[in-house]
Structure 1
Amino acid sequence: MSEASAGSRPCSIGVLTSGGDAPGMNAAVRAAIRAASFHGVNSFAVHEGLKGLVYGGDLIKQADPADTGGILRRGGTVIGTARCKEFRTRDGRRAAARNMVERGIDALVAIGGDGTLTGCDVFRGEWPELLAELVDSGEISAEAAAAHPSLRLVGVVGSIDNDMYGTDMTIGADTALHRIVEAIDALRSTASSHQRTFVVEVMGRHCGYLALMASLATAANWVFLPEQPPAENWAAEMCRDIKAGRDIGRRQSIVVVAEGAADLDGNPITSQTINDLLETELGEDARITILGHVQRGGSPSAFDRYLGTLMGAAAVEQLINEEPGTSAQLIGLRENRVVASPLMECVERTRAVAERIKERDFEGAMRLRGGSFHNSYRILRTIQQAAPKTNTATGRRHRVAIIHGGGPAPGMNSAARAFVRLTLDHGATPLAVRRGFRGLRRGDIQEMRWMDVSGWVSDGGAELGTNRYVPTDADMPLIAEQLAAHRVDALLVAGGWSAYKAAYALHTHRTKFKDLDIPIVCMPMTIANNVPGTELSIGSDTALNSIIGDLDKIQQSAVATRRVFVVEVMGHDCGYLALMSGLSSGAERIYMPETGIRLDDLTADIRTMETNFRSGKRLGMVVRGEGADPVYTTEFLTALFEKEGGNLFDARAAVLGHVQEGGDPSPFDRIHATTLTAHCLKYLSEKLESGSRASAMLGMQSGHLQFTDLTSYPILVEKDVERPVEQRWMQHIRLAEIMCS
């Protein structure tokens, strides 16, 4: 979008949250206010949603960046939300228009669901008529009406259901998924102790996103979705599958049901119905857990903070740059890019899914949800079986191995579990290489069975082991010998920088050793997010959430003492964790290897920090990537801020260390690991069937999973540093500058 002239800019922007609250709304409010200030536009926080517009007074307050301090990590919405019957009437909207004109507000950032956005669009359409009525009644002057001839509107979706067309993710959905997954993980331990089945009801009246993704992330044994009712004999099928799991030694079972689930005839399938069925037909000791509004609560996840920040800032940029009279737009994230789409078109297509379900057109509903939703459902149905399908194919079964390399990354066990079960279901033999490429050299390879990976989906670390060893030329004959001895037909390499280097080393020696001439596919698993061919690596989301949790605690301690913390995060030569954790925590300054540290920058940063503390600031946060600069170390920066802070503030260092590699994988990393593994196996299967020996790297690029030829590895990485040439997340440096200003 080109920069608009100052004359076409809105006079002032109002920011409101309305409808159901969603974690991450505060991030969007904060970003909108800070972005407006950065561009020199006044902003107002409208409290209590649309009610604030109607009643005005102290419910509409001018806002500046200082007012948004500390709200990023808070759940819900600090400016409030409320139902407003008055706004549904023309008199109520006329009062809202008067309150806005009196404050010079002629643009709105509305954060909420489809009801909120629809109501605001009606308001936008009526704006000229409402102002004319206000002029006729003498409530505003003709000059005031002429100064604000139109109302600009941009919508940002805040909804835990992730049910809005026009965006791949809505603010709040990731946090809600965290709450659900944490609850189911906790239930598993007590369920296993008592050999019990839990029926867990989650939100989702018309959208099964939370139920589907929670099931995929927790290895639930059965799921009920509004978009995909079970077959007519679902009761018998469910009981059969639950019993089959018991027969092979599973001590617990989880059934997830969305609140809007129904059968093919539209009859509701409730958690009580399922519970009674399990107790009657199987004699199960079943229990119901209805998670309810706990799914909405708590501090937002790292992703929701980032998403809210991204969308809130983009909404303001859209208002500033668009021409007056432009139709209302919805800011969304599509294919990992911020996009603006006609708001009402998105609302109509969103409601079309509910209409398809109501009309019993479930195929149409699934189609409208998109390919990713359907593929996730298909993968879930495969891996939640009690055993693989019976394979009747004749001839030799292909033998496919998985190996980890590089540092540990949360999600490695999720990938290994998916690999074993999907490989078996495809009729091939899964092999596990233990202890990375050292283990491969020694022949530490074993066949895996279906139940060998039971319970792995939620475990952190790497049960198969991993290390940063990269084979040398002298290792190649030994590795080739072991691959031949174990009849390995294809290799899935899951890991980080060292894993990719090792895979490429094997690839380059294939002409010399025929047993190395097999299909190889690399899957990105590293918290640093620093391998080529992908914008996002498995493990980085968990690491970010771990960092954010620690930064929240640090900020709480710093407030009481007027202190600046210099926090060092991992990443080696890549600043992904530094930038994203800085954005998600509200850090005042971010230092990364890609941009380095200059003395002039340090001087300016110290002066800014002094100014802020003199104005009443109580804490400061500086995030430094571990490879940002060899001279300006974390200890050096801390000493510098301590010395220059004088009586204004003191400074402390916090090196988070290897805690960033630990912990149970986040829901996203579990889902990402499972999905990418399925794609890798499909690639290897196709190569084996066709006789091809091509090798590749799989990754998320422009929102799509794509394969990149492994031969191109050397030209995709920077020389002498551990990071790829292209890092698309670097585009967010400008956003960080706006948020820190």
Structure 2
Amino acid sequence: MTQPTGIGVLTSGGDAQGMNAALRAVVRTALSRGVPVYAIYEGYRGMVEGGNRIRPLSWDDVGGIMHRGGTIIGTARSRTFRTREGRLQAAANLIEHGINRLVVIGGDGSLTGADTFRREWSSLLAELVETGKLSRETAARYPFLALVGLVGSIDNDFYGTDMTIGADSALHRITAAIDALVSTAASHQRTFVVEVMGRHCGYLALMGAVAGGADYVLIPENPPEPGWEDRMCALLRAGRAAGRRESIVVVAEGARDREGNPITSDYVRRVLEERLEEDARVTILGHVQRGGTPSAFDRWMSTLVGYAAVEELLSATPDSEPQLIGMRYNRITRQPLMHCVEQTQQVSAAIAAGDYQRAMELRGGSFTEMFQTFQALASALPSVTRPRRRRIALLHAGGPAPGMNTAVRAAVRLGLDQGHTMLVVRNGFDGLIAGHVSECEWQMVDGWGPMGGAELGTSRRVPSGDDLAAVAHALTRHSIDGLLIIGGWNGYQAAHRLYHERDAHEPFNIPIICLPASINNDLPGSELSIGADTALNAIVEALDRIKQSAVAVRRTFVVEVMGRYCGYLALMSGLASGAERVYLHEEGITLDDLRADIQEMIKGFRAGKRLSLVIRNEYANRLYTTDVICALFEEEGKGLFDVRRAVLGHLQQGGSPSPYDRIQATRLAARCIRFLTEEMERGTAAAAFIGFINGRVRIFDLGELPHMVDAVYRRPREQWWLQLAPIARALAQQKHDMHDMREL
């Protein structure tokens, strides 16, 4: 089999945050395999122009780029490449540089063009030979063009991957903009119409509306029925009557009515001003959604798919079908490229044909579920007005986590909409025992979605002994029929304690469910806990600042992050920041490890490196503390570099929840209310905990809890993210050649 002589990588179409992280991963993975890699600058235009547009990249050329938005190798659309003459010149340019394998990062148009180029490859080379521009011997060394596609698009409109590169970052921009608009809108009792990108895909609009607590959303996949203008205005008018001072309407740029006529943001504004007789303003977010620093997710996800793209190319044969590398359920997936393109285009075709049911089906069940959930949450008042017969209590347990307030808001409103009386307990089980229980109405949780912390308060108290009788008495006194515990390890312990004491305390025989909320991501039954994504973003933002301060001098930073005995935050922040070394409790730390790390550090700084970033999980080792590691590095560095420590502390627990944490808190709260409702209607009293496994919501019996946890270290027995550690290490530092390494 012909061995690969070079890999080319290009970004094409619209730019997307995270492209640079993917580029870095492609370059470093290829170089670690001994394969030269070339950047094709300005996309297909650069491929056609050749010359200096196609240049080799070194390990250091992609250092320090993960935090940068856009794409450092540029992107451009090329009409010339759409012609055979253009593709003929592109083939000649690739062979001139010894490239016969391509990583294309772009949207459906870019990937379709790449596949056309691949299918024509043999005939293009034959023509080059016939015209004397290429020798037969040279052509024979490049019998096929291997191709892998990565989806770079903020729209999240591509089949075969849960998230496209840039979508999460764009959602961060949209959510931040809506949060900012809410405050000014409330000051003036004003309505804002917010237009977001997405072409034929309503993902950004819908999820931005959910995360931002908007009142109304218009998406292309599910146009409103005729007369929607009256219904929208009636909804907003009812919200004002209920006490809301602001209104937010989110419009996808591709929104249309049932007849296929575009619904513009300006039209929505005019309708609102004319019918509500109040001021309305339009904010078109535009390309701000594409720009700026990529989110933590876009960094680590893009890194993983970039790594996998090279692995796929190096195993390709002449018979290999081009693959799309994506992420499904936090795992790397490979699917036939053109099948994914065809499935993606079916959504646009369904919308154009007016088959909106089909368009929603193609978007998937979770998309439809979130659309229905949004409609219930955005109402001015619950749809159920009959006397309330069931009483559900909500409380927090464990440490605070961003997204707790979002979960409470969703649970209260969805519970009221189901016809329940919703009770909130302040300060966890301490508050339940003390009688700090009150009914919660619809507007009491208005505006809670973007709020950090835990408005209800929380405590780490796990009832035991006499506490159990006190809890039982409180449940009886307040006639509680179902219990939703939103929190971390202490909440799970408390629920399990109540579950096992049911024979001794009859009031514990009610439906109970735990919703995972912990920045440590150390809870069983869920691959991600509410709050972990926000904490990860806070860490990565802090690391960006640390790196900027450190590159001015030769310095090593040892950064300590939270997580207790779970290394999720440490590893994933290392993957997202390009840290050279991550110390985890799961892997341990030995003196030999530290000795080897110091030796690599010294080699790097002697070769011209300016920065070394080391991340340590707070409980990685009880003897090799952050201070001890800093002292060892400082002593052995002998003045070659200085060492600083940074303990990020509780900033990881604070701040407004990320869009992901808001959306998933809403989704889990909805399922918890459904679970409790079904149990109460059946007259059963299951006790459970909920979470995401392989991208799906799963509910586990509380009796399974002891079998799913490492009780000594308070973490799940299975931690999916640990398998990513070798990738993080492979991309962090160059082992075989430290020449001219300047920064991470």
Using structure 1 for the length normalisation, give the TM-score.
0.98
> 2:483 maps to which residue?
491
> 2:320 maps to which residue?
326
Secondary structure of the equivalent of 2:100?
Answer: strand
* Alignment match of 1:315 (pick from 297, 309, 318): 309
Give the drift of 1:441.
Answer: 1.9
Matched, 1:572 2:564: yes
1:258-657 counterparts in 2 under 5 A?
258-392=252-386, 397-657=389-649
CA–CA distance in 2 between the matches of 1:237 and 1:140?
67
CA–CA distance in 1 between the matches of 2:491 and 2:28?
41
- Are the structure 2 counterparts of residues 690 and 641 from structure 1 closer, same or farther at C-alpha, using a change threshold of 3 Å? same
Give the drift of 1:24.
Answer: 0.3
Secondary structure of the equivalent of 2:305?
Answer: helix
Secondary structure of the equivalent of 1:307?
Answer: helix
Give the drift of 1:282.
Answer: 1.0
Say whether the 8 Å CA contact 1:9–1:319 is kept in structure 2: no
> 2:112 maps to which residue?
118
Say whether the 8 Å CA contact 2:584–2:620 is kept in structure 1: yes
- Over the aligned positions, Cα root-mean-square deviation in angstroms equals 1.1
- Are the structure 2 counterparts of residues 514 and 8 from structure 1 closer, same or farther at C-alpha, using a change threshold of 3 Å? farther
CA–CA distance in 2 between the matches of 1:214 and 1:636?
45
Secondary structure of the equivalent of 2:452?
Answer: coil
Gaps of 5+ in 2: 734-744
Q: Deviations over 1:67-99 (max 9, x none)?
A: 111000000000110111111111111111111
Larger CA deviation: 608-617 vs 430-439: 608-617
> 1:99 maps to which residue?
93
> 1:3 maps to which residue?
none
Give the drift of 1:645.
Answer: 2.1
> 1:665 maps to which residue?
657
CA–CA distance in 2 between the matches of 1:96 and 1:212?
40
Give the drift of 1:8.
Answer: 5.8
Say whether the 8 Å CA contact 1:172–1:300 is kept in structure 2: yes
Say whether the 8 Å CA contact 2:193–2:281 is kept in structure 1: yes
> 2:721 maps to which residue?
729
Secondary structure of the equivalent of 2:22?
Answer: helix
Give the drift of 1:714.
Answer: 1.1
Q: Deviations over 1:636-678 (max 9, x none)?
A: 1111222222343111000000000000000110001000000
CA–CA distance in 2 between the matches of 1:49 and 1:586?
25
Say whether the 8 Å CA contact 1:74–1:300 is kept in structure 2: yes
Say whether the 8 Å CA contact 2:384–2:416 is kept in structure 1: no
CA–CA distance in 1 between the matches of 2:53 and 2:607?
25
Figure out how many residues of one structure are paired with residues of the other and give that number.
Answer: 733
1:157-306 counterparts in 2 under 5 A?
157-306=151-300
The one-letter amino acid paired with 1:669 is D
The one-letter amino acid paired with 1:427 is G
The one-letter amino acid paired with 2:414 is L
CA–CA distance in 2 between the matches of 1:679 and 1:606?
49
> 2:23 maps to which residue?
29
Matched, 1:87 2:87: no
The one-letter amino acid paired with 1:212 is L
Give the drift of 1:593.
Answer: 0.8
Give the drift of 1:341.
Answer: 0.7
Larger CA deviation: 500-509 vs 18-27: 500-509
Larger CA deviation: 627-636 vs 606-615: 606-615
Secondary structure of the equivalent of 1:61?
Answer: strand
* Alignment match of 2:135 (pick from 121, 141, 145): 141
Give the drift of 1:607.
Answer: 1.4
Secondary structure of the equivalent of 1:35?
Answer: helix
Aligned identity (percent) is 56
> 2:63 maps to which residue?
69
CA–CA distance in 2 between the matches of 1:497 and 1:143?
66
Secondary structure of the equivalent of 2:523?
Answer: coil
The one-letter amino acid paired with 1:353 is V
Gaps of 5+ in 1: 1-6
Give the drift of 1:548.
Answer: 0.7
CA–CA distance in 1 between the matches of 2:701 and 2:32?
43
The one-letter amino acid paired with 1:145 is A
Secondary structure of the equivalent of 1:608?
Answer: helix
Say whether the 8 Å CA contact 1:152–1:325 is kept in structure 2: no
Q: Deviations over 1:394-422 (max 9, x none)?
A: 7x611111111111000000000001100
The one-letter amino acid paired with 2:88 is R
Secondary structure of the equivalent of 1:452?
Answer: helix
CA–CA distance in 1 between the matches of 2:429 and 2:574?
35
Q: Deviations over 1:233-255 (max 9, x none)?
A: 11100111111011111111001
CA–CA distance in 2 between the matches of 1:346 and 1:711?
41
CA–CA distance in 2 between the matches of 1:390 and 1:278?
27
Say whether the 8 Å CA contact 1:9–1:321 is kept in structure 2: no
The one-letter amino acid paired with 1:233 is G
> 2:740 maps to which residue?
none
Using structure 2 for the length normalisation, give the TM-score.
0.97
Secondary structure of the equivalent of 2:493?
Answer: helix
Q: Deviations over 1:20-72 (max 9, x none)?
A: 00000000000111111222222111111111211111211112221111000
Say whether the 8 Å CA contact 2:146–2:317 is kept in structure 1: no
Give the drift of 1:450.
Answer: 0.4
Say whether the 8 Å CA contact 1:8–1:324 is kept in structure 2: no
> 2:736 maps to which residue?
none
The one-letter amino acid paired with 2:206 is L
The one-letter amino acid paired with 1:534 is S
